[in-house]
Amino acid sequence: MEPNLKLKKDECQSLKDAIKFRQLVGSLIYLTITRPTICYSVGVVSQFMHSSTTSHLDAAKRILRYVKGSLSQGLWYKRCAIFLLSGFTDANWAGDSNDRRSTSGYCFSTGSAVVSWCSKKQDVVALSTTEAELSQQPWLHESVIG
């Protein structure tokens, strides 16, 4: 996606044939299984399946151009002598300009590649950055507490 691009619900003309947009986004969702680099972008575009506009279609086409230009890239898992599992988690407070909800996510890697990742828009509006980072991650509570 373009850096700092904020897609909104009703910012452009609605699409006449939204079925093609939904098929394109569905295909991109399937592609995220082997392409974790597009997960965030596809997640943002997929939020507008019911009210898609021309700017949303342009963003989806940009993802396709990225995939076309990076066909030779992929995940490579090399054998390591020492097993080291590392993780990272973060959240953006009120990052969605449409409903002010936060998005939280995590990724875990072993050796040279990511083995698990998730990005999810939170169900409720967080009142602080601390609440945004801790409210939707029960596995983090368990590891911190006990």
pLDDT tens track for 105-121: 788 888 777 788 777 77
* Sign of the Cα pseudo-torsion (7, 9, 14, 17, in order): positive
Instruction: Name the percent of the chain lying above pLDDT 90.
Output: 11
Residue 141 has pLDDT above 50, yes or no: no
Work out the pLDDT band at 80, boundaries 50, 70, 90.
confident
Q: Calculate mean pLDDT across residues 89-96.
A: 72
Work out the pLDDT band at 144, boundaries 50, 70, 90.
very low
Q: Is 105 left (phi over 0), alpha (psi -120 to 50) or beta?
A: beta
The predicted model scores a pTM of 0.63
Other CB atoms within 10 A of residue 36 CB: 16
